[in-house]
Structure 1
Amino acid sequence: MSTMNDRIFGILLIALAVAYGWGATQLPAPFGGSEAVGPETFPLLLSVVLVLSSLYLIVRPDPDNAWPWSRTGVELVIAVVVLVCYAALLQPLGFILSTTLAVGTLCWRMGSAPLRAFVTGALAGVAVFLLFNFALDLALPMGVLSFLEVS
């Protein structure tokens, strides 16, 4: 019966991946529309990775998969709540602040000291922001830090 849980979960994840991939194709095309990499590229790649991972879960389920309804289960629920909040706060707070909060909270929940966790989150947020904005030329939301934007 334990392998059936993995298979059901894999099927649900495939449905999520298909919905996510379809949603990515609905993103508006950039002006001109001739770019090879558009706003749908990264979400489509994520959905493909999720489908492949889900297929592996269906084909090769873990024979001994006990559900972690102890402290680990609680931490998993907290992680999901943090990620949902991250998605909700991304636009109003901006990428750097919301990433700082999300990564910092997750690092702290994994045992890091709070100051070190949130410094790590801030460094990750700034590094990824700079990578996307300047190396990949993909704009991320600035949110409340929009006064820092260079015109």
Structure 2
Amino acid sequence: MSKLNDRVFGLVMLVVAVAYFYGATQFPVPFGGSEAVGPETFPKILGVVLAICSLYMIVKPDPDNHWPALRTFAELCIAVVVLIVYALLLEPLGFILATTLAVGTLCWRMGAKPLKAYLTGLISGAVVFVLFTYGLELPLPLGLLELN
């Protein structure tokens, strides 16, 4: 029965991957014309990776798949909620603050001490912000940190 569960889940994730990839193609063309790396590049890459993983799950399901314990399932649900809240707060708070909260919370839930967890979130948010904004020239929202 677990092989069937894996295959059904793989099929559902394949549909999500195709929809996600299609959604990424609907982003407007950036001002100044098409670029090699634009706002749709990374969502397209994620869609392709999800599709490949889904196909693998359909073709080669895990024979001894067991449902996680209730505590593990609860932690997975918390992680999903954190990621949804992260997506909702990305624009109003800005990338660095939202990433600090999301990564810090996830690190804390995985057992890190709160100070180290949120410091990791702050450092990773700042590093990724600098890489995307200045290295790839894909500006991320500053939110509350924006100077007017």
Task: Say whether the fold is shared (TM-score over 0.5).
Answer: yes
- In the alignment, which residue of structure 2 is the partner of 1:136? 136
- In the alignment, which residue of structure 2 is the partner of 1:18? 18
Q: Which deviates the most, 66-75 or 46-55? A: 66-75
Gaps of 5+ in 1: none
Kindly provide the amino acid, as one letter, of the partner of residue 98 in structure 2: S
CA distance in 2, matches of 1:86, 1:69: 26
Query: For residues 72-111 of structure 1, what are the structure 2 equivalents within 5 Å?
Result: 72-111=72-111
CA-CA distance at 1:119 after TM superposition: 0.3
Gaps of 5+ in 2: none
CA distance in 1, matches of 2:72, 2:91: 30
CA distance in 2, matches of 1:69, 1:4: 20
- After TM superposition, what 4+ stretches of structure 1 lie above 6 angstroms from structure 2? none
TM-score of the aligned structures, taking structure 2 as reference length: 0.97
CA distance in 2, matches of 1:34, 1:60: 39
CA-CA distance at 1:69 after TM superposition: 3.8
CA-CA distance at 1:3 after TM superposition: 0.7
CA-CA distance at 1:91 after TM superposition: 0.7
CA distance in 2, matches of 1:73, 1:81: 12
Query: For residues 2-151 of structure 1, what are the structure 2 equivalents within 5 Å?
Result: 2-147=2-147
CA distance in 1, matches of 2:32, 2:126: 29
- The percentage of aligned residue pairs carrying the same residue is 64
CA-CA distance at 1:32 after TM superposition: 2.1
CA distance in 1, matches of 2:123, 2:132: 14
TM-score of the aligned structures, taking structure 1 as reference length: 0.95
Kindly provide the amino acid, as one letter, of the partner of residue 40 in structure 2: E
